[in-house]
Amino acid sequence: MYTVLVCDDDIAIQNSIKIYLENEGYNVLTASDGEECIKVAENNEVHCLILDIMMPKIDGLNAMLKIRENKNFPIILLSAKSEDTDKITGLSFGADDYVTKPFNPLELVARVKSQIRRYSTLGSMVKTDSQLITGGLVLDTKSKRVTVDGEEVHLTAREYRILEYLMQNMNVVLSSSQIYEAVWNEASFGIEKTVTVHIRNIREKIEINPKDPKYLKVVYGLGYKIEKY
């Protein structure tokens, strides 16, 4: 049985998350401040930590820095702040994921499952020359196989080629025209809707929450990109 540590000074939120996780078969430990969180993490086998940023005694970011000195289990940050700078700060401090309050408890549980699956099955994975990897998303150019957190994703041939092209150019914004010409091998003209439909289908298959994607991002007015983690 996997153990999830939930740290939040709001007891109602803490208990709500605990109920949802226990319903999915997880063992749940709790803490109400950063200091207690560090102690529980050090004295127990934890497979995932859900950590609120704004807490008394020691805030979430500093608690995470302390925990990361000895532990490498997944950490999902909770925050009422949704600005990109806050997300970037959290991820750069060592977080694996970031969820903004208020959140859907079922989505949070899905993210926990994803992180634990990745931690338990992909932690020792060795990257080969044929693999393009960002976070838990892996595309193998030899086997033409795509997996997300260890689970295979079934793409059409066109969807695969679009994703491969984007992952070969991670963090680069590619326009609809560039994508179309690279994948369809013909001149682009009035093709924005065609590319958009394929992008939407890919998102539905690789993202936990397609409306708040982790990997396949839209840069409005410019195009699309795959973010590198």
pLDDT tens by residue, 66-76 = 998 888 889 99
* Collapsed DSSP state (helix, strand, coil) of residue 214: coil
Give the count of domains, the chain: 2
Task: Find the radius of gyration of the CA atoms of the chain.
Answer: 19
Asked if residue 49 and residue 23 are part of one domain, the reply reads yes
- CA torsion 146-149-152-154 (nearest 10°) is -60
Last residue of a domain, one of 121, 151, 171: 121
Q: What is the CATH number of the domain that holds 48?
A: 3.40.50.2300
Residue 125 has pLDDT above 70, yes or no: no
Question: Can you spell out the DSSP letters for 20-89?
Answer: HHHHTT-EEEEESSHHHHHHHHHHS--SEEEEESS-SSS-HHHHHHHHTTT--S-EEEEES---HHHHHH
Asked if residue 150 and residue 53 are part of one domain, the reply reads no
For residue 209, being part of any structural domain is answered with: yes
Asked if residue 75 and residue 145 are part of one domain, the reply reads no
Mutual orientation of helices 105-121 and 11-23 as an angle, nearest 10°?
60
Asked if residue 149 and residue 47 are part of one domain, the reply reads no
Asked if residue 203 and residue 163 are part of one domain, the reply reads yes
For residue 174, being part of any structural domain is answered with: yes
Asked if residue 195 and residue 116 are part of one domain, the reply reads no
Residues 50, 54, 60: CA angle, nearest 5 degrees: 50
For residue 126, being part of any structural domain is answered with: no
Which stretch, 32-36, 112-116, 148-152, has highest mean pLDDT?
A: 32-36
Asked if residue 80 and residue 21 are part of one domain, the reply reads yes
For residue 190, being part of any structural domain is answered with: yes
Pairwise CA distance, residues 67 & 90, whole Å:
14
Asked if residue 35 and residue 16 are part of one domain, the reply reads yes
Q: What is the mean pLDDT of residues 128-140?
A: 85
Last residue of a domain, one of 66, 95, 121: 121
For residue 55, being part of any structural domain is answered with: yes
* Chain centroid to CA 40: 24
Asked if residue 102 and residue 32 are part of one domain, the reply reads yes
Is residue 63 within 8 A of residue 17, CB to CB? The reply is: no
Asked if residue 65 and residue 142 are part of one domain, the reply reads no
Domain region containing 35: 3-121
Indicate the pTM of the whole model.
Answer: 0.57
Q: What is the mean pLDDT of residues 75-101?
A: 80
For residue 187, being part of any structural domain is answered with: yes
Query: What secondary structure letter does DSSP report for 200?
Result: H
Q: What is the mean pLDDT of residues 127-154?
A: 85
Last residue of a domain, one of 121, 140, 161: 121
